[in-house]
Amino acid sequence: MGTAYDSAVATDAAFHVGLYARKPVMFVRGAGMRLYDDDGREYLDFVSGIGAVNLGHAHPAVASAIAVQAATLVHVTNLYHVEHRSELAEELVRLAGGGMKAFFGNSGAEATEGAIKLARRWGKLHRGEQCVRIVTAERSFHGRTLAALAATGQASKQEAFEPLPTGFTHVPLNDLESLEAELDETVCAVMLEPIQGEGGVYPCEPDYLAGVRELCDERGILLVLDEVQTGFWRTGRSCFAHQAYGVKPDIMTLAKAMANGLPIGAVLASDDVASAFGPGDHGSTFAGGPVVCAAALATISELQKADAGGNAAIVGEYLRQGLDEIGERTGAIAEIRGRGLMVAAHLKRPVADRVCATALERGIVVNNIGPEILRFLPPLICGTEEADVLLSMLDELLAEDGDGE
């Protein structure tokens, strides 16, 4: 690594809180699926900012939209109308199938907070003051603010910050009986990821999600779907993962890929549920500003022009088939999960850290969830040629750790 990297490491250690175990690389430029470090070395990116850069790095249409708006107007607060905000809300509602309204935040965690507040407000108004509890799934991840963390079904992420806000119950994913047992008069909402991202890329089974929708309808409970990681064609031809299930939520949370890497989040709610909020019930200084909304509109437009969802479906299937073949040859893979270009390889041995480190040395950026799960979230412009580079490397590395011939 060059002197820029060395300087960044030293300055980071001196002045930045040590919240991240950063990898030994400093990226200074990106183009499409490729990243470049301070020495000019090229890398293939199969992380895309944890699924945030669906169009690939430095997309010219997004860069132009940002530059034009930044030179025109950056911020005036939500007390006033600005360009692009209402247009973006309209486009999101169209993509969701209509009959909804949107409000904006700055991240997935803020979207979760907004959804929690809206669900509780609706519950109190329609079912009584006791109706504030939200049921989520074990292994789920909904964000790192205190309420979002309380909603998250991972004790390892919660223990250091207890006591957490109350009003959240976690049940096993894809277990309709366990969920139904919790749905009493205190429950205002069920909140699920159609595919659990940070939990290890575990999809909801189709019958389960349909059953959850049915139970919520029977009991007068809201269904909240967290599409922060799965949204914007990440999982295939449907813009949002739930659409492939044929299930519509009452509330949906979005973020990550909406503006191709710029910080923006959103909550979409059915017209009836959205009416539970009035002026002053929620807000944000920066949310829905003209720059990020311009970037989001450009991003969504370009993703549609490129048929990013169709490509995600085709290349995702190609990647999963390739991983399956590697598993057959090496005996190193226990299970392959995911939809579209949201894929996990669950290894039989705890070597995911080592595989990721070696991949980085070889110019391929991948990440892992714990010691046994490799996760692949490339930009949706990823082709089979790039997938072949990844598969060839994994075939070699996993052969060293498998139990096959």
384's tokens? 């089979």
- Give yes or no for a contact between 140 and 153, defined as CB atoms under 8 angstroms apart: yes
Amino acid at site 164: L
Q: Which helix (H) or strand (E) holds 185?
A: none
Q: Which of 46, 256, 376, 401 is catalytic?
A: 256
**DSSP string for 353-391:** HHHHHHHHHTTEE-EEETTTEEEE---TT--HHHHHHHH
Return d(Cα 388, Cα 263) in angstroms, integer: 32
Q: Which of 226, 232, 240, 277 is catalytic?
A: 226
- Closest CA relative to residue 365, chosen from 139, 8, 46, 134: 46
Q: Which of 46, 103, 104, 141 is catalytic?
A: 141
- Give yes or no for a contact between 148 and 117, defined as CB atoms under 8 angstroms apart: no
226 labelled catalytic: yes
Helix, strand, or coil (residue 43)? strand
166, with CB counted inside 10 A (0-12, 13-18, 19+), is exposed
- Give yes or no for a contact between 132 and 167, defined as CB atoms under 8 angstroms apart: yes
117 labelled catalytic: no
Return d(Cα 128, Cα 53) in angstroms, integer: 42
- Closest CA relative to residue 234, chosen from 31, 270, 226: 226
Find the length of the chain: 405
Cβ atoms within 10 Å of 359's Cβ, excluding its own: 22
Return d(Cα 388, Cα 390) in angstroms, integer: 5
DSSP label at 141?
Answer: -
101 labelled catalytic: no
CA-based torsion, 205, 208, 212, 213: positive or negative: positive
Q: How far are the Cα atoms of 40, 284, 380 from residue 262, in angstroms, in the given order? A: 24, 16, 17
Active site residues: 141, 226, 256
